[in-house]
Structure 1
């Protein structure tokens, strides 16, 4: 009896250590569960209608908070053998301004196109065309192609057709339970496909992405609510998770396959077809491309920070002695010269933009390192390039309640960063400003001040005292026409200036340009 028990235990141990099922078995079982290889191979066209909610946690009021920005309706039409897609959108944005936009996207294997206005930051080609239209940047084409394949009912069929690109891998934990998974390499993209061990269906499709705040992140498409449509099982519920948190919720309301489609709808206007960018390679800016579209502020360009159709580079504008304004893109920063070092306000967009700013600062002020980086707030578009400065020794200055967040951010790995080599930044110096912080070299005084506002917790404004120059981000766009009535955002600037006891004559902005402060102050007084 003792020997029998030992044999049972040994057999259970061997079974537990058995190698996972071969990739072909997992793929084959999944295809059977989805309706069978033959049925999927007969898929010629796809017609879907649905709704989408989108959120970006790095645009929330609190760091890494919840913030749903966009609700949309869409209609997708696909010619699957030709791999061409058209998506007609009606998007309702809540931030940064409430607005509804209707536009269409066309994606082909060679290029992509936008018909209509899809952003408040239109590029040069969009502005030049009437009706508005433009060819997508190579970054956007590559990102759209990646996401369309991720969600395609043909993904498993492609895995079966290209077995050399499919690799066995360790199981993936979902809600504490291990699930079988495979890696599938398509060019420079690797999808991790996770399967339900009971149904055999694919339930999660993952990529490892670079997030400009959190570094290495998982980006998952979670599939559920599978419905049989003419012999093919298709998921009607699709939730996209970033670092395990939902950022997109898609619900299909109509599903049809192999319906007649008009090929003319995939043809872009000739004016934008010529010279269209090919899909970009060798980048990992996917999260920037995806999530800037959530709030309708994406600049469709092959440089994430500026419209490369309109200019070739950012530039420095000297706005006062020893003060340089970094402009030319969608997001600005400010360089302030001190006796033996520099202070920089904001690190927008990416480490690529920060590298440009550092190089420009070094050329302008040789021998003076950036010793201090002031982040006005935590939002990804104004803080996404912080690692470049911290990696070369700058102290990070942030508003009240933000230090813990940025300590976690700087402790995260960033091996997928396309602009900066990975290094350990976990011991970086971080200074948290609870009310006011002053920096002085005995000649110039620069101060930062906490401002109560409705946009972001821990918001700071800056002030260069000898030039009576303020720095503000997102609360006011200096240079833009002032409204007839004061807004809560603008009021927070005026109230912050009064509370700080500073006397600015001008303000430079993280967006916009430079403007006199007096008209804003007068508007607040009049209201």
Structure 2
């Protein structure tokens, strides 16, 4: 069949050209869940992110939408409840959309947040997909019953049309999902029913490399032939402009971003591009830290080299953080790295560190194979430095404590610990400075916290493991900063937060 034949078959199955041309807006009411393949206790065991309910009104042929969403998150239990409006390059959100600070907001949102949402709506709506293919001059090609839509600035979108029914049943695209690079995102459409003059799916499932990450059941879908401009009106405010990199990020990593956003971490809409300060900050002699907007990297001076702990987020951020790692102790190359655990946001930029050459990577034994796989994965959607400059990497699984000499005559100790957060969790202890570095178990606070505050059982487990190991700790340094960018706090603060 020709491209036109396959497209005509899909158009007819969805209700016909006249019905599709008349469809201006769709209103979708749904419930569902979201999971994260990179947040479980092991790499191939997705973590529950949230259960959600939403009502979406979107302009089928355009970038305008109104999304009212409520959700119960799991990473940090929070009840999200907000309404978000996108209108081209401007947008606005009102309500609770951030799990770390669940106070209502009423603020403008950046253009790349709007663009990320629109990409997601395009992938999950057969009406939007087929309408895009009907635009004069659209770049569409058929291979059998698979229609490929090519759009500037987006990965190709492949729409599988059921040859029997003519209905779109599967959409595939390849996104960048750091640290694994190219990932196949598939959207599955099921339970098609008639809604007015069109036929639409009431079950939508999204998988990433065949792992289910999103499922929604649509209880109501209404298609209208008119649009109420007031529905998409954005309160007057200065538009938050986007850089070219941020806009590109919103299109080639849309589902990676949204997995975090469903958990209530809105800053993943941003493409963080550099640390907060112009250089690494001193913690103790021979110990520095690179402070990021959301994640930190520890740098330790060893006798003839440096060691870094954590390579956060994605290559575009870590490449800038790496500059500060290199300048922390001039003349000493970065040759060792510790990943506290495999969660994507803490090791997403590890390939940037590896492209520096000659890197030894210490990781918890259960995920050694996962880390080795990171350095063999294809990165074609958004090639990173390592893709163009691969270097030998040595992955060392850690079971028993690893003791390494530091430049100050003390030791750096890498310890496996027991934690519900991940099966491969590790902490780093510096004997001279009496510092322990950890990630995700507790965020340092500027003052004494309330008993049992913040991460609950994780903080308790961290403190108990420090005691079990007999570590003489005075200061806890976090892979995440707490309030007021506090990145270090006395052990006593952790003990109180642990409820002990």
Q: Same fold (TM over 0.5)?
A: yes
- Alignment equivalent of 1:146, drawn from 119, 130, 143: 119
1:474 to partner: Cα distance: 0.9
Written as runs of structure 1 = structure 2, the 5 A alignment for 1:272-311 is: 273-277=237-241, 280-283=246-249, 284-299=252-267, 302-304=270-272
Residues 286, 81 of structure 1: alpha-carbon distance in 2 compared, 3 angstrom cutoff: closer
CA distance in 2, matches of 1:290, 1:114: 16
Task: Note if 1:229 corresponds to 2:198.
Answer: no
Quote the residue 1:184 is aligned against: 149
Quick check: 1:509 aligned with 2:478? yes
Alpha-carbon distance in structure 2 between the residues aligned to 1:320 and 1:430: 28
| SS at structure 1 position matched to 2:375 | helix
- Pairs within 5 Å for 1:243-282: 243-258=209-224, 262-270=228-236, 273-277=237-241, 280-282=246-248
Q: Does the 8 Å CA contact 1:394/1:429 hold for their aligned counterparts?
A: yes
* Equivalent residues of 1:24, 1:163 under 8 A apart: no
* Preserved contact between residue 314 and residue 328 of structure 1 (Cα < 8 Å): no
User: Could you tell me whether the CA contact under 8 Å between 1:469 and 1:506 is conserved in 2?
Assistant: yes
Bigger CA radius of gyration: 1
Q: Is the 1:444–1:465 Cα contact (8 Å) retained in structure 2?
A: yes
In structure 1, the residue corresponding to 2:134 is in which secondary structure? Answer: helix
| CA separation of 1:305 and 1:282: change in aligned 2, threshold 3 A | closer
Aligned counterpart in structure 1 of residue 59 of structure 2, from 76, 79, 83: 79
* CA deviation string 1:229-265 (max 9, x = no partner): 1120101111111111110001100111117764323
Q: How far off its partner does 1:369 sit?
A: 1.4
Is the 2:84–2:91 contact (alpha carbons within 8 Å) kept by the matching residues of 1? Answer: yes
| Structure 1, 258-267 or 445-454: larger mean CA deviation | 258-267
The answer for the alignment partner of 2:69 in structure 1 is 89
Q: Secondary structure at the match of 1:63?
A: coil
Q: Residue 305 and residue 103 in structure 1: after superposition, are their counterparts in 2 closer, same or farther (change >3 A)?
A: farther
Could you tell me how far 1:213 is from its partner in structure 2? 2.2
Residue of structure 1 equivalent to 2:381: 416
2:313 and 2:381 map into 1 onto residues whose CA distance is 16
After TM superposition, give the deviation of residue 288 of structure 1 in Å: 3.9
Q: Tell me by how many angstroms 1:357 deviates.
A: 1.9
Q: CA RMSD in A?
A: 2.5
Aligned to 2:451: 484
Is the contact made by 2:49 and 2:262 (CA closer than 8 Å) also made in structure 1? yes
Q: Following the alignment from structure 2 to structure 1, what is the Cα–Cα distance between the partners of residues 497 and 142? A: 65
**8 A Cα contact 2:35 2:213, kept in partner:** yes
Point out where structure 2 has 5 or more consecutive residues left out of the alignment: 482-486
Structure 2 distance, partners of 1:82, 1:285, is 20
Is the CA contact 1:448–1:460 (under 8 Å) kept in the aligned structure 2? yes
User: Quick check: 1:432 aligned with 2:397?
Assistant: yes
Structure 2 partner of 1:391? 355
Q: Distance in 2 between matches of 1:314 and 1:496?
A: 35
State the TM-score, normalized to the length of structure 1. Answer: 0.86
Separation in structure 2 between the aligned mates of residue 383 and residue 23 of structure 1, nearest angstrom: 43
SS in 2 for 1:235: strand
Q: Mean Cα displacement is larger for which, 273-282 or 353-362?
A: 273-282
Corresponding position of 1:520 = 494
Give SS of 2:15's match: coil
The 1-side partners of 2:128 and 2:466 are apart by: 58
Unaligned runs of 5+ in 1: 1-20, 172-179
Q: Distance in 2 between matches of 1:523 and 1:102?
A: 28
Q: Could you tell me how far 1:36 is from its partner in structure 2?
A: 0.6
Q: Distance in 2 between matches of 1:99 and 1:305?
A: 28
Distance 2:85 2:257 in 1: 16
TM-score by length of 2: 0.90
Question: Alignment partner of 2:440: what SS?
Answer: coil
